[in-house]
Structure 1
Amino acid sequence: MPSFSLPRLDLKKILMLLGFLFLVIIIGFALYYLFFKPTIPQPAPGETEPGQVGGLPLAGERTGEVVGPEGQIVPGVGERVLTRKPPVIPGATTSEYAEGGITVVDDLDTSATPFMSLDSSGNGLLSYNSDSGQFYQIENNGNKTLLSERKFPNVENVTWGENTEQAIMEFPDGSNVLYNFRTQTQTTLPQNWTEFDFSSAENQIAFKDLDNNIDKRFIGIANADGSGQHYIEFLGNKENKVQINWSPSNQIIATYEKATSGDFSTLFFIGPNNENYRSLDVNGYGVQMQFNPDGNKLIYSAQNSLSENQPQLYVTDAAPDTIGYDHKKINLNTWADKCTFASAKTMYCAVPKSLPEGSGWFPELADDVADYIYKVDVDTGATSFIAEPEFAYSINQMEISQDGSNLFFTDRQTQTLHKIKLK
C-alpha cells in the first residue's frame, strides 16, 4: 500500500485566509446595514406614535365656542387638531405681548377661515367658515356667534362691508351674492361682475364687468345692491393690469399699471367720474397696493431685477394733487397684502424670514415660509421688529383691533385664525 503524508500547513497562509474571510464578513454586514436593513418609522414633530395619547394642549391652544342665533352654545364646526411647527429656537422664552421677541399666539378658531375682517365694533371679527359654509362674528376670546343660518358653500372670494356688516360673495361658477347680515337679506349681482370694492360709506361698489365680448368690458360703479350702474373706463383686454381699489377719500376707484422699461412701470389712477390724476413711477412691476385709512398715503409692493425679483415695499403720498410726493422705500421684503393699518400713521406687516429669488413673480414659493411681524411708521418709513410668533406661521391676512390691543391673523397653510397681544 503506498504511503503518503499530509502537506505541511503554512501558518502565514492560514492567517491570510482568516483575514480575508473576516474582511468579507465586515463588507457584507455593511452592505446589509446600508441597503437592506428595514427602518423603524419615527414620529414627526408634533405627532404621536400609534397607541399613544397626545399631550395636553399647548399654551393658547383652544377652540372657540359657537353661539347659535338664540344664544345657545352649540358644538364647534370643522375643528382641527393642529400640528404645529416648532419655534426656531426650541425652549426659548416667550412673551405674552409683542415686545420684540418670540411671542405667545392664542387660537381663536381652528376651523378653516379663509376670509375675515374687523366687525363694526372694530374689536371683533367677521369670518367665513369654509367647513360649514357659514358666516360668524368672533369675539377676541374666540367665542363665535352665527351671523345667519343660511349656508353659502364653496365661496371663492369675499369682499367685506365691515361697518355695515355686508359681504359680497363670489362663487366658482361666476355667480355673485350680496348679503346683509343685519337685515338678513340677499341680493344677486350680475354674473360677469368681479373684483369688487366698497366705497368708504359702503353704499356703493366698484367692479370689473368682464363681459364675454371683450369690447364690452369696463370698470363700473353701482349702488351696493347693483342698481344705478354706470361705466367709468374701458377695459378691453387689459383687465389683468387694472386693480379695483376704492380709496377712503373716495377720489380714486382703480389703478392701471403700464410697463415702461425692464425694471420700472407707471401707475395711473382713475377717479369715479373718469378723472385721470397724476401718475406714479413705480420701482418695479407686479404692483400690490393699499391706501392708508385717510387715503393720503399709498403703500405698494413691486419687484425688479435689482431686488432679485423679491417684493419690496414703498410708501408715497396718494392725494390726487400730490401723488408721487414723498416717495420712499421701506426696508422690508414682503407684499402689500401682508400688511394692515392700525391707523393712518401706523402699519403692521408680516415679513417672510427668507425669500427665494423670483418670489415676486411666484408668491407661492413663500407659502411655507414663516413670518416675522414688523411695525412701520407710514410717514417716515421707519420699521421696528415687534414679534416672532411662537410657532412657524405663514401669515395670510392680518387685522389690528380698533383699540390697538390685538393683532389677528390667519395661517396660510391651515387657514386657522389666531391672535397676538400687542398690549
Structure 2
Amino acid sequence: MINFQNFNWKKIIMVIIFVLFVVVVGYLMYALFFKSPTPTPEQKTNTGEIGQLPGGTIGTPPGTVTPGDGGTGTVTPTEKITKITATTTSTPDIIAQGGITKITDLDFQKNSSFTLDSTGNNIVSYQKETGLFYKIMPDGTKEQLSERVYKDVENVAWAPGADKAILEFPDGSNILFDIKSDKQISLPKDWTEFDFNKPGDKIGFKDMNPNPDLQWIAMSNPDGSGQKYLEPLGTKAKQFEIDWSPSGDKVAQYNPGSSAATSRLLFVGLNGENYRDIDMRGYGVETKWTPDGSRILYSAHAVSTDHKPLLHIVNASGNTVGYDHQDIALNTWPDKCTFADADTVYCAVPKELPYGADLAPAVADNTPDYIYKVNLKNGAKSFVAEPEYDYTIDSMQISDDGSNLFFTDKQTGALHSIKLK
C-alpha cells in the first residue's frame, strides 16, 4: 500500500505552482507577440453601375404621365396610367392643381339625372327613388322644387336652364313637366328618345308607331303640338340617335357602319338637307356636340386602340364637315366629359381599361377615374385631379363660372363637387 505520509507535499505543491506559472506566462507571450488580430468587418460601398451615381435609383420611364406632379402629358391609347397612392401624411388639395384633390359631398341621395339651372351655377336633380326634383347649391343646400312625385322615371330630357323636363316611364307614358309653373302635359306613348333644341322651344324625338311604316324621326313644340316628320326610320331605328345640334340645324345622327376599320356618321336636318357624312375612326361611336355646334367630340374603338374607346374631335358644320379630324389620345367616353366652352373640355378617364373595354363598357363600372382638361385648339392635355376617393364618375357638369366641377359616381349616384378655382 502506498504510504502518503512519506511524500514531500511541500515540494509537490511547489512543482504544480511552477508548471501553472509557466503555462500562463507562455500564453501571455503568445497573445502579445504571435496571435493575429481579429479582422474588422469591411464597410460595403455601393459603387453603382455604369452610367449611374452610387446609390442611384431607376427613374420613371420617359413619356410616362405621373398624375399629381402638376405637369402635363399625352397618354397613348394603350398606356396604363400609374395609380397614385395617398400616404397618411398627404393632405388633399382644396382646389384642383394636378394632384390628389378634396371632394365635397353635396347630396348622398341617388341622383338619377341632373343638369345646371338657369344661373349655370346650381344643380337641378331628379331622384328616382323619391320621385322628387331638387335644386342643389354648391354649398350642399337642397331645395325641393315641387310636391309632385314621379317615381321610377327611366329617362329624363332636360330643357336648357332646367325649367322643363320630359319624363319617360317604363310603361311608355311620357310627361312634359314644367318645373317653373308646376304643371304637366301628357305626350303620346309612341314617342321616345326626346331632346330639346338649344332655345328650348322645340323637341326632337322618335315616333315608334306600332306600324313600322309609320316610324319616323320628328320634331314638335314641347307640348306636342306643331308636329313635323323629318326622316323615316324603316328597319334601322337603333342606328339613329336624337341629338339636336347647338346650332339648331341638325336633329339626329345616323351611323350605318361602313368598312372594317371605319364607320360613317350622317345627319338629319330640318328640311331634308343633304349634309356631308363623316368617316369615323372606328366603331361603337358615341358623340357629344361642342357648345357652339361647330364640332363633334366622339369615341370609337378599333384594332389599333385594343378596342378601347379613344376620343377624337372633328368639324361638323358648314362646308368643313369631316375636316380637321384629330385624335385626343384619351381612353374614355364622351358621356364622361363636360365642356367649359367650345375649346375646353374636362374628361373623367379610367385609370386603366382592359382590352376590348369599348365592346363591353360595363367592365369600367368599378374603375376609378382621373380628371383631365383638354384644349381643343391645340390638343394640349393637362392633369387636373385625382379625387381623394376611388370614384367611378358617371356624368359631369362644370359650372358656368368655372369654379366647380359637379359629378355623380356610378356606385351610389351621390352628387359631389371638385373646386377648380
TM-score range, shorter chain: 0.7 to 0.9
The answer for the alignment partner of 1:68 in structure 2 is none
Residues 211-360 of structure 1 correspond to what in structure 2 (within 5 A)? 211-360=209-358
The answer for the alignment partner of 2:86 in structure 1 is 89
Which deviates more from structure 2 when the two are superposed, residues 404-413 or residues 261-270? 261-270
Shift of 1:381: 2.2
Amino acid at match of 2:170: P
The answer for the alignment partner of 1:404 in structure 2 is 402
Asked whether the 8 Å contact 2:160–2:198 carries over to 1, the reply is no
Give the TM-score normalised by the residue count of structure 2: 0.79
Q: How many residues align?
A: 338
Shift of 1:93: 3.1
The answer for the alignment partner of 1:78 in structure 2 is none
Amino acid at match of 2:122: G
Distance 1:358 1:285 in 2: 12
Amino acid at match of 1:243: E
Q: Deviations over 1:42-101 (max 9, x none)?
A: xxxxxxxxxxxxxxxxxxxxxxxxxxxxxxxxxxxxxxxxxxxx9843423310111001
Query: Which of 376, 380, 390 is equivalent to 2:388?
Result: 390
1:110 aligns with 2:112: no
The answer for the alignment partner of 2:205 in structure 1 is 207
1:130 aligns with 2:128: yes
Q: Which has the larger radius of gyration?
A: 2
Shift of 1:356: 1.1
The answer for the alignment partner of 1:7 in structure 2 is none
Q: Deviations over 1:298-330 (max 9, x none)?
A: 101111121111100000112132111111000
Residues 173-188 of structure 1 correspond to what in structure 2 (within 5 A)? 173-188=171-186
Asked whether the 8 Å contact 1:251–1:320 carries over to 2, the reply is no
Shift of 1:391: 0.3
SS at match of 1:137: strand
Distance 1:144 1:87 in 2: 33
Shift of 1:213: 1.9
Structure 2, unmatched stretches of 5+, are 1-82
SS at match of 2:318: coil
Shift of 1:132: 1.2
SS at match of 1:163: helix
Shift of 1:260: 1.1
Determine which structure has greater relative contact order: mean sequence separation of CA pairs < 8 Å that are 6+ residues apart, divided by chain length. 2
Amino acid at match of 1:191: K
Amino acid at match of 1:263: A
Give the TM-score normalised by the residue count of structure 1: 0.78
Give 4+ residue runs of structure 1 displaced > 4 Å after superposition.
none
SS at match of 2:176: strand
Amino acid at match of 2:86: I
Shift of 1:338: 0.7
Identical positions, percent: 49
Shift of 1:130: 1.9
Structure 1, unmatched stretches of 5+, are 1-85
Amino acid at match of 1:369: T
SS at match of 2:219: strand
Amino acid at match of 1:354: E
Distance 2:243 2:224 in 1: 18
Asked whether the 8 Å contact 1:102–1:387 carries over to 2, the reply is yes
Amino acid at match of 1:421: K
Shift of 1:164: 5.3
